C-alpha cells in the first residue's frame, strides 16, 4: 500500500498552510495502492498541465500512481 505523497509538490504550493498545521505531512496511512493524480489531461482545470511533471517524477522514482480525469 502506498504511504507517500511526494510528487504532488510539483503541482501544489507546499508552503501554503491554510489550516495552520505548520508542516506538510508526506506519509499516508496505507489505505490506497496508488497515488491519485487528479485532473490529468483535463481541459477545463487550470492545474491539469502540472500533473505531467508529477507523473514524470513518480515514474522516475518507481512510485505507483493512478490518473483521474474530471468526473471519476
Residue 72 has pLDDT above 70, yes or no: no
Residue-level pLDDT at 21: 84
Residue 69 has pLDDT above 70, yes or no: yes
Residue scoring higher pLDDT (64 or 3)? 64
CA distance 51 to 48: 6
* Model confidence pLDDT, tens digit, residues 3-62: 677 888 888 888 888 888 887 777 777 788 888 888 777 766 667 778 889 999 999 999
Q: Where are the domains of the chain?
A: 2-67
Residue 1 has pLDDT above 50, yes or no: no
What does each C-alpha distance from 40 to 5, 21, 47 come to in angstroms? 16, 28, 9
pTM equals: 0.71
Amino acid at each position: 500500500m502506498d504511504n507517500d505523497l511526494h510528487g504532488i509538490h510539483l503541482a501544489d504550493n507546499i508552503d501554503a498552510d491554510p489550516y495552520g498545521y505548520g508542516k506538510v505531512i508526506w506519509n499516508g496511512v496505507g489505505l490506497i495502492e496508488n497515488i491519485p493524480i487528479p485532473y490529468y489531461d483535463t481541459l477545463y482545470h487550470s492545474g491539469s498541465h502540472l500533473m505531467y511533471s508529477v507523473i514524470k517524477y513518480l515514474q522516475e522514482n518507481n512510485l505507483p500512481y493512478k490518473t483521474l480525469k474530471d468526473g471519476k
